[in-house]
Each structure stands twice: as C-alpha cells, then as structure tokens.
Structure 1
C-alpha cells in the first residue's frame, strides 16, 4: 500500500485548542504552573454519549485546555505546532478554526488575538511547509450579535493566502440557540468574500442540517453526516455543491455512531458528495488527520484510487488559490502513479 503520509491532502476541520498534542498542552500548562486533570493527559481518548451530559463533559475538558492558552507566545505555539503536525502527515493546506474571543483577554482584545494568530500562520506556513489559512468561527453559546462583530473583524483579514482569514464558521453545541439568528453574521462574511463553514448534522439530525443550509448558506458543512438520514436533503446538498467535512473519530467519540464502521462515509461518497476528512480535536480524541484516512482505507475499504479522490476532494474544497490547488492535485496524481510500498 502507498503511504498515507506521502498522500498530499488538505485539512479543513481542525479546532484551535483541540489541535494540540498532549505534550504541547503539558508544556503550556507547566509554563503557567497549572496542574491538569489526569483524565486530560492520560493518553486515553475521550468518549461521551451524544446527549447534553456528554457534550458538557467534552466542553469541560476543552475549556480546561483552552484556559492554558494565554498570551502571545501560547497562541503562536498552538499555530506552529498544528502546522508542523499537519506537514508531517502530508498536508499541503491547513485551515484552522478559531474563535478569537476565547483568547482576547490575554493579549489585549479581539483584534490583537486574531492578528497574532494570522501572523503566526504566515510564519508557520514558511517554516513548516504547509499553507495555513484561518477560519474565524462564532460560538453558539454566545449572542448572535457577537458573531456579527467577529464577522466584521474576519472581513478585515480576508484572503486566500497563508495567514489570511479564508472562511467564517459557527461551532459549539448544535442544540444551543436558533440557527436562523446567525444569518446576519454570515451575510456580513459573504459580502466580504468569506465562505460559510458552519457546523451542522453531527449531534442533530437532518432537520437541523436543513436549517443550516437554508439560513446560513454554507459552502462547506462541518460534519453534515446526519444528512444521510434524508436522501432528498442529501441530494439537494450535493446538487448545491456543498462539501462535507467528515471527522470519523469525532463522530464515534461523541457517541453519534457506535463505531467507525457505522460512520456513513460510503453513503456520502455514493451520493456524489465532496468529502474532506478532518481530525476535529486530536487533543481529546487522540486521532489525527492520517488516522481518518486509515479509517477510510481499513474500515471502509477505500482503494488507493479512492483515497486519492478523497485527497483531491479536500484540496478542491479548500479555500486556497486555484494555482496552489492545481499544483497539489498534480502531486496527488504522482502519489497514485508511484508503485505501492509496504507503508500504511
């Protein structure tokens, strides 16, 4: 089999704090004299049921980790580490998702927080060899007016290159808030040329995917796997050209599906959906980008040609410049043309 590390790809669903490895988290915590709970650093993947109690436990651990990301050096460390990890897995483009509100207090405000992250994304792109774009994401647990502030901030940094804000998202607990109330923020982002990449269709089913589609007009859906429960809706999304950021490990560890084989990757592909595999939160799920491709290969039976198609789809769904996409697609073709080896 051809090595998955050698397969050029794009990584489009990775959260800022959740991107860290345990050693990176421990280093940041040690620098602040913070003692982390053993359950966060014991190298056992978090598993919770797909209900409010399960989400609360996930969010509690995420908040503990986020609390140690304070100050400019910590923000830069997270970006740099994410870029290096992705580069080592063969990623050519990383679009890391962040709500700068969570880090603003330690660096003097929203704008400095985003500027630091974008600046380090440019530096890391040059050093690590993977192009890093930034997705600004609002949170469902904050007021929709806060999202409009973030959308205006994101618009001032919009672009396709390294360190630019390339999209606008909405994350956190899918059950929180009225999705339609975030339409204003997404309109602001679209006017600035920023595509929408809201979460939808993981914890909640197709009825919520339909709300996200109608009100937020996504270019990509964060997750979206539950759309497979309504074939008419799935066909509508595919026809509209909406891409799916599918994170198999997340789906299992958040209790959406009982095991990796139950994740509806094949159903999405058979319906003609453009799928970009993502790791979501490696810190908590202990599963990085290539692990998702390994799942496609070993659990869902994807051939190397199908893995190459998934990699091309991730590149096509990215918000990189067209000339960069073409170069990376050519590299995927080269990977597939090479003779298989003993790698996995």
Structure 2
C-alpha cells in the first residue's frame, strides 16, 4: 500500500525534478497529482521515464483532503496561501521555499544530517527543505563535525543560474548566444551580465552588507547543526547552468588530519569523495548533474589555524539542493511516521 502524493509547482525546474526522482527512486505512490498555477492547467507532464502522463491540475481549486504528502516547489507567496490549507486538510507539506525554514515550529531537515528533527513536524504539519547551497554544505560538514567539532566555517559559493529558475537559465543562454553574434547582452533576471562573468550578489542586500542568500546559509546551518558554529559566507552567481560549487574552509576544536577527514568522508552517507592530487582528480559542476551525491574534492590541511581543513564541494542544486532532499524527507517521513500497510 502506497501514498497519495501531490507535487505543487510541478511544471517548474524543481517540480519536474521531483517527479523524476519520485519515479527513479520508486517512491511508493498509489496516486500522484501534478499541480501548478492556472497558466499550466491541463498541460501534460511525464512521470519520470515511466511513460505515464499526468494532467496538470489548478492549485487554486485543488482539494488536499485525503492526500498524504505534498511536495511544494513554488515561491513563498503561493506557499503562504496554500501550504497551511494542505496542512489543515491532513496532508503533510514538504516545502522548498524559504518561508518556513526559520519557523521554530517547523523542522528544517537534511536526512543525512538531522533526521530526528523530522519528529517535530506535527506542530504545523509542515517540514522545510533548506536552501540549495546550505543542503550540500551540511552534508559535507556533518561527519567532520561529529569527528572533531567545528568551530568556524568560511564558505564561498559558485552557484549556477538554475538556482534562479528557468529565467536565469534562459538569460545565460540568450546572453551567450548574443555575445557570439555581436548583439548586446542585456541583463534582465540578474543585476549584471552573467555570461562570461561572475556576480557576487544573490538575493537582496541586508543592512550589514551581506545578502539574504548569505544570511540563509548562516542561519539555516545553525538551525540544522547547532548555533555554536560560527559561519561566514560569500555567495556568487556563476555562468554554469546546473550544479553549485563551494570552497569551504573549516576550523575544528580537535585535530583532524586531511587523511583522516578523507577516510571519514569516504564512508559518510550522501557523500562521494573524488580526491586525487593530480590533473582532473576532482569533480566540477558539469560532472555532478543528474547525480544524487554531494561530491567532495581537494581536501587539504590549512596551516594558518591550529586545526583546519579546506575542501571543494559540488552538487546538483536541482537534486540534492532541492528535489532530491524533499523526496528523501518524504521517504524518512514514511519510515518514521506515515507507515502504510
């Protein structure tokens, strides 16, 4: 006996990935509904590679009564309206927006990192999915934190345009094409030209000079892993279609050698260590696309602190950073709370 599952925002980048991953991982669905805004009502979407087609239903009129799990992949405004309705109807919401992440009554879950937190979902019947850049980082940090206790993290991100949705991907493509044919590269979605450039600005600026994306990484990591960890982030948009990369520097309370860290990461859940100290002995974003793993490379000791390491972390942001993590939460929810049959 399976679950009745709703994917809200099914026509977007993340929503489509949710459908693909539900099918790939053979999530036990007795029934699945693809739901989106009125603009997409009646469109058809393929459910993974099963050949099964789903007709898109209108979110405004969708009744969540009798459905078990709703994976939300819409913006905060739509989530604010419809997630409470779904939750009140008895359908557990797994939300990919930023709306509920810092709500003390809503667990923020990465299954490899803090699975026990999911038990708090009953307060609002909602579970939050972290920011894409946070998700992959905490998967890499957690096993090292367990071994040597992290004091401080300094991270610089190299985030793909798919993190800004289809508009971001279209803009990179159009600007690149225009530059090659001599046409102007007009910035619409991003604040500056993204083709052949990098932009040290994601989301809005805050009073302290950081951006909201940087604040998210700090606040969410503390909620997931513990408030004692000090974190500073610089988030940068780069001209890559899919796949976020991060250069992470970590300071520990206890000594941890690069060799020992490699050994720990090699056995850690959700991690794939590719770390050969030779040409090409590391993973780049283009190589992680379509994969479930968070890849770690370039593990090395930092001699400027008493116990420090630097590493390179890459993951498919549409998967582990969003859709995969949401499906993993649904799997965890099923194992712990919504057992069927």
Using structure 2 for the length normalisation, give the TM-score. Answer: 0.31
Using structure 1 for the length normalisation, give the TM-score. Answer: 0.30
- Higher fraction of strand: 2
Larger radius of gyration: 2
- Higher fraction of helix: 1
Which structure's relative contact order is higher, taking Cα pairs within 8 Å and 6+ residues apart? 1
